[in-house]
Amino acid sequence: MTGIEYRDRLRRQMLPHILCPGCGHGIVLKALLRAARSLELDWDRTVFVAGIGCSSRLVGYIDGCTLHTTHGRALTFATGMKLARPELTVIVITGDGDGLAIGGNHLIHAARRDVDLTCLLLNNETYGMTGGQAAPTAEPGAISTTTPGGARERSFDACALAVAAGASFVARGATSLPLELDGLIARGIAHRGFSFLEIASDCPEYFGRYNQLGRGPEMLQLQRRRLDEVDRTLRAKRSLGSRRAEGPPPLRTGVLHERPA
């Protein structure tokens, strides 16, 4: 969408932001603002909720109705808000640590209840705010402060978890496809039921540096190589060809699951 003035939706007194150079979270924030504009959301009836972490800091920059909650409990606060004020549009911004580790149980039950709210889970495979520990989404072999010899556990598939738990809308986007991310976020917000969107982001300061993946531009290029878009029926729109035995599996992006709430 052209012509949007981002500063009109940002708390200018909070700028400049604290995100590290090359962090993908800023791309997500701009995509969210574009999606909100395309839907013509009533800004006075839209609430942004976040927990703790780099991704959760994004709500502090939005000049609107925002709620910064405790670690892992963003979905719990958001559920209470939606039940008390069902006319509100409630959007949660969380991270892979905040939403899948300490907040994993709340994610399961929010999906099970299929409450009409939207959850954006930003996945950069690390705890970027607290020193670069391995997140539940870190791929096997990933180097971090807590896995100096490489992660040994299987990584969490957040989208598969959300589908199994009962979410009626599940999608995955990526910061390397920002304009397509606009549409996915808008579609999730418009869906009546629990909308879960995992967004592959990048952390050059910790994950990229520890794993020798380069800075922001290089990490975005690596992310693009992993993408494997799918349509609503889960049929591939394009193929990555034969996959190497080593390295992380390709990312399937797009709407992965949708049913009436």
CATH of residue 111: 3.40.50.970
Alpha-carbon torsion 203, 243, 160, 258, what sign? Answer: positive
12 within a domain of the structure (yes/no): no
Token pair, residue 234, equals: 């889960």
Per the structure, the count of domains in the chain is: 1
Contact 54, 128 (CB under 8 A): yes
- pTM for the whole structure: 0.88
CA dihedral 83, 88, 89, 90 (to 10 degrees): -50
Q: Is residue 243 part of a domain?
A: no
- The domain of 80 spans 25-237+248-258
Is the per-residue pLDDT at 2 higher than 70? no
* 250 upstream amide cis, omega within 30 of 0: no
Instruction: Decide if 2 is inside a domain.
Output: no
Give the pair of three-digit tokens for residue 36: 């909100």
Specify if 204 maps to a domain.
Answer: yes
Q: Is the dihedral of CA 187, 189, 191, 195 positive or negative?
A: positive
The full 3-state SS of 50-89, as one line of letters, equals ECCCCHHHHHHHECCEEEECCCCCHHHHHHHHHHHCCCCE
Q: What is the pLDDT of residues 176-215, one digit of tens each?
A: 999 899 999 999 999 999 999 999 999 999 998 989 998 9
In this prediction, residue 245 carries a pLDDT of: 37
- Containing 195, the helix (H) or strand (E) segment is strand 195-200
Asked if the structure places residue 5 within a domain, the reply is: no
In the predicted structure, residue 229 carries a pLDDT above the cut 60: no
In a domain, 11, yes or no: no
The segment with the largest mean pLDDT, out of 88-92, 96-100, 209-213, is 88-92
Taking residues 120-126, what's their average pLDDT? 93
Under 8 Å between Cβ of 127 and 146: no
Share of residues in the chain with pLDDT > 90 (%)? 63
Asked, for residue 196, whether it belongs to a domain, the answer is yes
Residue 18 in any domain: the answer is no
Render pLDDT for 28-66 as a digit per residue (tens, 0 to 9). 999 999 999 999 999 999 999 999 999 999 999 999 999
